[in-house]
Structure 1
């Protein structure tokens, strides 16, 4: 992977001035639907045996890329507008295709993945069931995101991969197999759980199912794999998980998602807003917080509580909230294993920049393969404002400093939505913070700037408006 250049995308003239806050908050913030669930539901709906209506779908760049890609593959998707959060997915009628080849999707198309991991790592497995080769391409930054473990798995199943750039990375073309070559697949998914999820989501459609083994020494973000398993089972699939051997066995099944389902709010995207209560003091509440969830963001309340906040889950008019109350004191987390929820790292790092003790954040080496090298990015931007951070092999160290040393700066986002929200969080306590390319937040939060401004207005949003 190309080394991160901390001065890439430096355009101070276009930087967004992050609001500073010197009084406590009192806000309710409604968070859009989960990207992780939205794109998993779209994949499974495309593989289902009947139409599916999804409510509360996130409408962002990543989900719109998924919808556009599925349409190219022959999936019919009804929506009132490009902003509609209710969509109806009508899968291709595979009964019209030659059964011997298990075909269901159109080939001879080019899928544009943007910078979306769930698009570039979930959709290629659907190319196994296309009637001709399928090409995958994306943003220039996407050319640095590893793809090889997933593609190794597809080759083991009989597909042919032709790379038109660097081997193991976008862009590439997948030629589907004439006959599926294997039932057992062995890959090293240490750099991303998405490689496992991408294969599992399509595995029920394989004529003999799959026995998928992870051969690596570590497995990041296991909750995301559990999310995929839960969603497959929701669609009528069968997945047997053996954590001792890191093996998943999926039987061949005709999937059938419920005819109507609703996407939970994105709990990881709640992190900047709930974290704002610790930075500014006061109260921030997020409605529609689920009682149970497979989202890694579901761990967030526990983490914020350890950092000194008071967290509870009141109900009002049948709606369950996550409410965070803080006086502005932030405690360090010591040696802190974040392997299960690495996507929370930038938001937690922004908070820990102001903590009263050291935190060693571990288990997040895989973040080097996200939208950018997030470990290097977090350390560079924490140092940029005068704080103290250090990159390690498996994580980062954030040490406390005299907050009088902290100063304004232009925070680089590196085309990474979570680094952009990281910068906004720093701005609540540090005057003179600007964030370059704040629009990269549209990847998962279509109106982050408007939501941030509304939160700071101390005029609670109507929780019933979602």
Structure 2
């Protein structure tokens, strides 16, 4: 397992960063392409390992095959639904961690529709044997809205192929709503109509139509550069091809990072990030500049806010609709020694690792404390003890790409660090270390003794 020792000799960033295509959009596009009976062209498909895995499994499948997704959680969820409606017998499996990640809620919903799904080891977890067939037992399901948007997206994408369509009733709070909206918008590009009334989404029986799907660069990947800009004294970065009107929920990083003094300037060609010495990392209340003489609302949807001031006067950030930003923002707060309160982290506990516990462990190496309340729905970051370690700490990544990329920017403020298992970033951003090298980070190989 190869490690990397990283440092940043100055606190300045400038230049251009070409981000990979969105993994979230790419994986949805591949499933829709496979469900369409005619040609769907995909442009700028992500080179992320998860997408490469999903594409290989879809391209190489036959009617009686073991599909091993490895650590690709999105592929597991999407293929579970896809295989259920595709003729053949499939054994769907994955890595050791994947076998610990629950799939029962999605499998139960598919069984209600008539799916033939059998667990091969532990009930409610992969691996599974799935016999694909026509699902006509029911035309509606009820599913929790706050567990995983990937379950909902998986059901939505197969809905047009069901003989009576599908109505999905979402119970409770709807989390990661932008990811559901992304799925529906992409389905719309292929001619699929839907109705979303209250907490019910209905998709009638239809056929996907041939079209071209163009994949936007990854806003999750952009979030790491926002963090770096926030930690620098000066930053002037260009990220081409990102859109102001994006399908990706992680565009919320533009609003969150405005509080750290990072300005976003939109243009037809992408975005420019700027930060000057006047901001100095202070919490600000200004609206985000769009570069077009307008301001953007501070919220994900009408009436909702992603960042606000808590009753105690600290900044409170809600990640319910953008959980993949949590590690990046919490790490950035640590390096800036900004106490804050966080909500909407519940889904982080069933990701590649328990991301909350992982953050508590690794940020603790710099003296930060991430404290969970008794109800498990609110976390307070205490940065009063944050320090710069005398020796470079070893940052464990827990086989989680976002742990590596979220903590790497801390080298700007908190000194050199050794990041475990540098190859883990290939899951979503294969050129991450090369891009850091181009922008002034110093890196050297290191080898952990295990």
SS at match of 1:167: coil
Counterpart CA distance in 2 for 1:457 and 1:411 is 17
Which of 281, 299, 309 matches 1:330? 281
- CA deviation after TM superposition for structure 1 residue 177, in Å: 4.0
Question: 1:331 & 1:399 partners in 2: Cα distance?
Answer: 16
Distance 1:201-1:64 versus aligned 2 partners, 3 A rule: same
Verify the 8 A CA contact 1:127 1:175 in the aligned structure 2: yes
Instruction: Please name the residue that 2:324 is paired with.
Output: 343
2:20 partner SS: coil
Work out the CA distance in 2 between the residues paired with 1:220 and 1:326.
35
Q: Which residue of 1 aligns with 2:104?
A: 148
Among 221, 225, 250, the alignment partner of 1:273 is 225
Whether the 8 Å contact between 2:334 and 2:386 is mirrored in structure 1 is: no
- Larger displacement relative to structure 2 (28-37 or 162-171): 162-171
Q: Residue 23 and residue 131 in structure 1: after superposition, are their counterparts in 2 closer, same or farther (change >3 A)? A: closer
How far does the alpha carbon of each residue in 1:136-193 deviate from its partner, in whole angstroms, 9 at most, with x for none? 0011111121111110111011112211121111111112346521111122242211
The answer (yes or no) to whether the contact 2:8–2:415 under 8 Å persists in 1 is yes
Post-superposition Cα deviations, 1:277-329, rounded to whole Å, max 9, x if no partner, equal 1112222221112020120121111111022223322x4xx513232324373
Q: Does 1:289 align with 2:242?
A: yes
Whether the 8 Å CA contact 2:368–2:384 is kept in 1: the answer is yes
> Following superposition of structure 1 onto structure 2, how do residues 226-265 of structure 1 map, counting pairs within 5 Å?
226-242=181-197, 244=198, 246-258=199-211, 260-265=212-217
Which of 424, 445, 453 matches 2:408?
A: 424
- RMSD value over aligned CA atoms? 1.9
**Partner of 1:89 in structure 2?**
none
Matched, 1:394 2:344: no
**Conservation of the 8 A alpha-carbon contact between 2:250 and 2:325:** yes
Determine whether 1:23 maps to 2:4.
no
Count of residues paired in the alignment: 407
Unaligned regions of 5+ residues in structure 1, if any? 1-10, 74-105, 459-466
1:377 to 342, 347, 358: 358
Q: For residues 76 and 132 of structure 2, what CA distance do their matches in structure 1 show?
A: 17
Q: Match for residue 123 of structure 2?
A: 167
> How many angstroms does 1:247 deviate by?
1.3
Look up the SS of the partner of 2:380 in the other structure.
strand
Equivalent position SS for 2:219: coil
Q: How does the TM-score come out when normalised to structure 1?
A: 0.83
Q: Of the candidates 41, 47, 67, which is equivalent to residue 29 of structure 2? A: 41
- Look up the SS of the partner of 2:246 in the other structure: coil
Residue 394 of structure 1 and its aligned partner are, at CA, apart by 2.1
Offset, 1:456: 2.0
- How far the C-alpha of 1:405 sits from its partner, in A, is 5.2
CA contact (8 A) 2:77 2:151 kept: yes
- 1:96-119 CA deviation, whole Å, 9 max, x = no partner? xxxxxxxxxx42111111211220
Q: Which runs of 4+ in 1 moved over 3 A?
A: 402-408
* CA shift in 2, pair 1:311/1:177, >3 Å: closer
Structure 1 residue 220 corresponds to structure 2 residue 175:
yes
1:437, 1:396 → 2: CA distance?
Answer: 28
* CA contact 1:427–1:434 (8 Å) conserved in 2: no
Find the counterpart in structure 2 of residue 464 from structure 1: none
Q: Distance in 1 between matches of 2:139 and 2:404?
A: 42
Instruction: Tell me which residue corresponds to 2:269.
Output: 319
TM-score by length of 2: 0.86
In structure 2, what is the Cα distance between the partners aligned to 1:257 and 1:298?
Answer: 28
Following the alignment from structure 1 to structure 2, what is the Cα–Cα distance between the partners of residues 179 and 321? 44
Following TM superposition, by how much is the alpha carbon of 1:403 offset from its aligned partner in structure 2, in angstroms? 4.8
Distance 2:122 2:233 in 1: 48
CA distance in 2, matches of 1:425, 1:455: 12
For residues 117 and 324 of structure 1, do their structure 2 counterparts lie closer, same or farther at Cα, with a shift above 3 Å needed?
farther
| Map of 2:162 onto structure 1 | 206
SS of structure 2 residue aligned to 1:265: coil
SS at match of 1:197: helix
The alpha-carbon deviation at position 416 of structure 1 amounts to: 0.5
Which residue number corresponds to residue 301 of structure 2?
none
**Structure 2: stretches of 5+ with no match in the other structure:** 284-306, 308-314, 443-450
What are the superposed Cα offsets for residues 173-222 of structure 1, whole Å, 9 maximum, x if unpaired?
A: 1123465211111222422111000000111011111011123x232211
The answer for the alignment partner of 1:57 in structure 2 is 45
Which residue does 2:286 correspond to in 1?
none
Aligned equivalents of 1:320 and 1:188: distance in 2?
36
SS of alignment partner, residue 349 of structure 1: helix
What displacement does 1:256 show? 1.2
Question: Secondary structure of 2:220's match?
Answer: coil
CA distance in 1, matches of 2:43, 2:264: 28
